[in-house]
Structure 1
Amino acid sequence: MNMHANRTRIAAARDWAARMIAPLADQGVGSPASFVATAFSVTEPAGEAQLFISAQGLYRCFINGIRVGQDLLTPGLTNYDDRIAFQRYAVGPLLHEGENRIEIWLADGWFRSQIMWGANAISNCWGDRIAAIAEIVSGPSVLVKTDEAWQSGTLPIRQSGIYFGETYDARIAPGQVSHGVEVLPFDIRLLVPHETAPVRVLEAIAPVDRWQEAGSGATIYDFGQNVGGFVRFTVTGEAGAEVLIEHSEVLGPQRAFDNRNYRTAKASLRYILAGGGPETYEPMFTFQGFRYARVTIKGQARIEAIHAVAISSLAELKGGFSTGSELVNRLVLNTIWSQRANFIEIPTDCPQRDERLGWTGDAQVFAPTACWLADCQSFLRKYLRDVMADQRPDGAIPHVSPDPTRLHPEHFPGFAGSTGWGDAIVLIPWTLYLHYGDKAILSECLDAMIRWVDFVWSISDGPIVRPPANWGERGFTFGDWLQPVGDNRKPRPTIGDDCAATLYHFISTNHLARIAGLCGRPEVEARMTARAAEIWTAFAHEFITPAGRLAHHDQTSYALAFLHDLVPEQHAEAAKAHFRRTVEDADFKIGTGFIGTPALLPALSKLGLDELAEKVFLQEEVPGWLYQVKQGATSIWERWDAIAPDGTIYDPDMNSYNHYAYGAVCQWLFESVAGIKPDPQKPGFARVIVSPGPLRGLNPVSAWHESPRGRIAVDWSIEGDEVRYRLVLPQGSEGIFAPSPRLGPALADGQPLAPGAILAAGAHDIRFSLRDEAPGRAG
């Protein structure tokens, strides 16, 4: 158990009579999957019987040959040395009086299959023994429990891994006992109830196209949508015939299959037929990210049906946004699909290559958008508990969580401590407080926040953070990761690591001061308030010239500084003009990376530069949001230039086509364009800040969000210079009107509506004129 174990423990899970048992049939990582099983008797009706079950590795349970539940990839992914989830299922209808049989299939999963990449890929990360713990309880009676009397054997699943995929030999009958089991030493206190919704099937998607690959005879299927999930197919043929399915996200020239960007992830399915009739297969213990499937058949067999099956921990949408622009509508849909594909147990960077890790930076920039589109309260709370378990003794927050490098630092030393990434421990809890009024998560994470902010101060022992340049050194930062530079003959300016780190140093420290006050920690509030003031002053001295120009003169520096009020009043107008010039000089193309992009348009809107924000958002060249849509993207790309205009795939060694980070722009669509945002004074949408930002290029707009208090809905349309804005607030919620300078005098339901006016729950018809921004460039 690691040094932080029990700190994130969920109160009193339950007492267990069962023991953790490992199949002696198991031959280690990469070997055939195993099962443990036993027979047991039921002597009286057990209609209320409950199964409690968990595992080291992944499990799927069967009682009397019938699968228990519909959850996928159980028991889920956590820092297994900190806690392991268990599931509970009502199984009374599966039992009968007399002899019954329970069989638990086990596979490597995240627990011990390859994780991380390259020559230093880690296997057996959290342990080298797959195992199960389970018991069926009916009232006070334990009907069956895992113990030393169980038996084990191997399965038709000949190999399985998160990156590997799965090989299944249907000629092998399951349930053939060959060995016993071993009771493992196991701390029962690690077991906690599953902390969020289970992974489930969302939908099965039929192919939209298919064709034969030149030269190979393989068939390529296009499902029309990049998903996280797996391929399900039905096949007929002779015993011993094989179906090989490989996956890809994109196609090369002449529609050639290309999955080089998967790197060392084999990500394939191999199915060997039993013969004798239609056989339907889908993998049990893995998933892939893909739009295309290449199917190669060896022997006599024919595919009768095939689907892409999308899976996610988020089964239900909680928000929507539509406009008069079909490109923007597709961008929003792409964001939804990337969130679904990457919210599988944890918020991952991508679902396809040899990575699929919970990068903290990606999660913190996307968290507000995630909460607009889905109910992410329990999902992100669970993730934060992993982040806290991974926090280093010196306070550094990991780059990824759950973090394999914490247990195996010899392979990836110093994999923690980057500003913008580690700040997830402060900013994600704040997002949960804003959206759900979740004050408990602030208290739960507060000490970890303090240790993180103190760590960042310690990097340079002062308010200005000067990170080392080399990976792995203490305090290394990713800066504004993948910030575009434009023409490499005359590159545009990019933010310096010191500026990026100091900006985030202020952001988290300032948030922490407020959080400490909410949590009743006045001594922390006072210390962090004073420190934030010191950072603010030092930032202005170090990075803002007397003429109001930020030192690196790039879009990210201006956006973050303005959005978080780091520009002194005496420099505000000059800095605003410089900011505008950086955007105009780039021909309205995006000049921001992972940390700057979520701030860019909100900062422009905050400054009243809505029409400038509109031009940036709607321009269709690279780098730009709509460029990837025009290139046929059905999810969000990792890189702005992931595919060239001629279709060339850029840098397949690090290029994901399902990476949600840049979808963070949807927060701006809800909060600035639709004009609804949670009020930190009355969080959880007890009060909604109503600040419409109508843009002609998006006319008309409709948005909705299922808040904790009910549905909030907005739609607006522009006719000439007049805007009609319709707002619906649920019971238990109110609005506060905060118009931008672009809006003329407003009427609500026929009555004058002044800034600061309170709007009661219910429907409101608001009308106002639109003052367009003055044309021309900044001087």
Structure 2
Amino acid sequence: SHAEVLDKAGNFYTTNLRSAKQQNNYILKGTGAEEVFEPHFTFQGFRYVKIEGYPGELKPESLTAVAVYSDMDATGMFTTSNPLLNQLQHNIQWGQKGNFVDVPTDCPQRDERLGWTGDAQAFATTAAFNMDVAGFFTKWMKDVSADQLPNGSVPYVIPNVLTERDAGSAGWADVATIIPWDMYVAYGDKGILEAQYESMKKWVDYISSVAKDNVWNSGSHFGDWLFYRPDDDNDGRAAVTDKYMIAQTFYAHSTQLLINAADVLGKTDDSEKYKTLLQKIKAAYVKENMTESGKLTSNTQTAYVLALQFDMLPENMRKQAAERLAANVKDYGNHLTTGFLGTPYLCHVLSRFGYRDVAYSLLMQERYPSWLYPVKMGATTIWERWDGIKQDGSFQTADMNSFNHYAYGAIGDWMYKNIAGINPVASKPGYKEILIAPEPGGNLTSASGSLETVYGKVSSSWIIENGIFKLDVVIPANTTATILLPKSGKKSETGSGSYHFESEY
């Protein structure tokens, strides 16, 4: 039998597997000769194994754990001076390995193992840093197109083993536009945009067909799945974000990505058509969801994050919205309250609007809810819930408590881009042009990151010594890079080669 965790008394715990047994039964031949058993038609998600009924003495060295995942080369490396962050990176990588098995499953252990679209789109850019997922996602996006409904709606899971009614959730179905664009930026291959363009267009057109006066306020949505909510919420501290408010932001985002794809593919008529639509979508969002003073009707981190990430607000209202977001984080004691849809963009938005210190305070937070709380509790992969194991050692609700669920690992994208400082440039995709812009913080004294791009390895490694920021960079052949040094704002343009930079810090 296989289990992910032991309970606080050290007992084998399988209740969270629901109806899945995660058990293999093997009948020995009885000849006395050495036998090897390895299942061919199943796999398990586990850290612990329990063997029952073995007739001889069983030693740990008699068992070998085999990691099963799609054939994806490791491409990224990320490490810092903080051991907890390094463990978080390890957990993100192993969450990816444990779930990228032909389809991006939500979890590898319980009676589910489905290709949930929301999880996949949230994690796609992080996945492309850690491993070469070009082939993996190119293939899976063809599955998305194949299972897309005739009306353009996209199922919750791909392959769709549910019903036709289980489709069209904001932030899940938008996988149709998000992953093709993300893979284009990461690998520079227009082929995935060409292959997926009609699917992208069908999804946006579906939303338009059900929207009323350019407002998407119908249908069933998961919303900001697994957002922070205290058990006995008498003070209204649960971070509930209106689902239709979220839907409108993703309507805009998918439309923007469709415009981007149309521009790359030279489809000028489509580009102009959807640019006009996008203006109407954003105007409708402001009318529906923002007061005259700039406060959003759902006063949550996720509400402000999505509004700012997708440029939903007029430019003159964005600064105050970012201030409200930063104040909200501080109001929760430097804790995040976001779920599956807000979390991937949270630190990005804070950094973009000048709150890098707040982003770092969230990343380095060790108490629940936070990325490092599970690490402190002994996690070796990313958990489905911020508190899968509670502070008293008990477990969260057993019917939905996976300990290998990669979605919250989306913070990896921010760590590569902001701590190591390795950024693609969308206008010159596939790292033909590179932006190296590390932003130290969180009391880190050093960090290093690298990525095997289609042009070769790019690396960025820095250390702070005696008030001097020292940066070593490697830029691959046939590419150019812009180097931005922190604090000093010193900017350099380079071609391929190895470079060393220093500035006062």
TM category, shorter:
over 0.9
For residues 486 and 301 of structure 1, what CA distance do their matches in structure 2 show? 49
**Structure-to-structure mapping, 1:49-88, within 5 angstroms:** none
Asked if the contact 2:259–2:275 (Cα under 8 Å) also holds between the matched residues in 1, the reply is yes
Asked if the contact 2:422–2:449 (Cα under 8 Å) also holds between the matched residues in 1, the reply is no
Alpha-carbon deviation of 1:674? 1.4
| Corresponding position: 1:718 with 2:464 | yes
For residues 650 and 622 of structure 1, what CA distance do their matches in structure 2 show? 13
Asked if the contact 2:227–2:239 (Cα under 8 Å) also holds between the matched residues in 1, the reply is no
**Structure-to-structure mapping, 1:588-599, within 5 angstroms:** 588-599=334-345
Asked if the contact 1:722–1:768 (Cα under 8 Å) also holds between the matched residues in 2, the reply is yes
**Structure-to-structure mapping, 1:391-540, within 5 angstroms:** 391-405=148-162, 409=163, 414-467=165-218, 475-486=219-230, 488-490=233-235, 491-540=237-286
For residues 544 and 656 of structure 1, what CA distance do their matches in structure 2 show? 36
For residues 374 and 443 of structure 2, what CA distance do their matches in structure 1 show? 18
Asked if the contact 2:445–2:464 (Cα under 8 Å) also holds between the matched residues in 1, the reply is yes
Alpha-carbon deviation of 1:693? 1.0
For residues 644 and 696 of structure 1, what CA distance do their matches in structure 2 show? 25
Aligned to 2:18: 263
From 22, 27, 34, give the equivalent of 1:278: 34
Q: What is the total number of aligned residue pairs between the two structures?
A: 500
Which letter maps to 1:503? T
Which letter maps to 1:422? A
Asked if the contact 1:696–1:718 (Cα under 8 Å) also holds between the matched residues in 2, the reply is no
From 448, 473, 479, give the equivalent of 1:733: 479
Aligned to 2:311: 565
From 296, 305, 308, give the equivalent of 2:52: 296
| Corresponding position: 1:348 with 2:105 | yes
Larger Rg: 1
Corresponding residue SS for 1:713: strand
From 482, 496, 505, give the equivalent of 1:761: 496
For residues 466 and 370 of structure 2, what CA distance do their matches in structure 1 show? 28
Corresponding residue SS for 1:253: coil
Asked if the contact 2:154–2:167 (Cα under 8 Å) also holds between the matched residues in 1, the reply is yes
Alpha-carbon deviation of 1:446? 0.7
More helix by share: 2
| Corresponding position: 1:692 with 2:438 | yes
For residues 377 and 548 of structure 1, what CA distance do their matches in structure 2 show? 40
Aligned to 2:76: 319
Which letter maps to 1:552? S
Corresponding residue SS for 2:121: helix
For residues 381 and 442 of structure 2, what CA distance do their matches in structure 1 show? 26
For residues 615 and 534 of structure 1, what CA distance do their matches in structure 2 show? 36
Which letter maps to 1:432? M
Aligned to 2:94: 337
Contiguous gaps of at least 5 residues in structure 2: none
- Sequence identity of aligned pairs in percent? 37
Aligned to 1:639: 385
Q: TM-score, with normalisation over the residues of structure 1?
A: 0.63
For residues 467 and 442 of structure 2, what CA distance do their matches in structure 1 show? 10
Which letter maps to 1:267? Q
Q: TM-score, with normalisation over the residues of structure 2?
A: 0.96
For residues 498 and 721 of structure 1, what CA distance do their matches in structure 2 show? 49
Alpha-carbon deviation of 1:342? 0.3
Alpha-carbon deviation of 1:658? 0.3
Asked if the contact 1:334–1:635 (Cα under 8 Å) also holds between the matched residues in 2, the reply is yes
**Structure-to-structure mapping, 1:214-233, within 5 angstroms:** none
Aligned to 1:621: 367
For residues 682 and 589 of structure 1, what CA distance do their matches in structure 2 show? 36
For residues 484 and 464 of structure 2, what CA distance do their matches in structure 1 show? 19
For residues 57 and 260 of structure 2, what CA distance do their matches in structure 1 show? 63
Aligned to 1:702: 448
Corresponding residue SS for 1:718: strand
Alpha-carbon deviation of 1:736? 2.3
Which letter maps to 1:730? P
Asked if the contact 1:745–1:768 (Cα under 8 Å) also holds between the matched residues in 2, the reply is no
Which letter maps to 1:372? F
Alpha-carbon deviation of 1:738? 5.1
Aligned to 1:673: 419
Deviations 1:667-722 (A, max 9, x none): 00111221111111110000012222111423210111111110011111223543
Corresponding residue SS for 1:735: strand
For residues 691 and 457 of structure 1, what CA distance do their matches in structure 2 show? 38
CA shift in 2, pair 1:294/1:594, >3 Å: same
Alpha-carbon deviation of 1:338? 0.6
Deviations 1:137-189 (A, max 9, x none): xxxxxxxxxxxxxxxxxxxxxxxxxxxxxxxxxxxxxxxxxxxxxxxxxxxxx
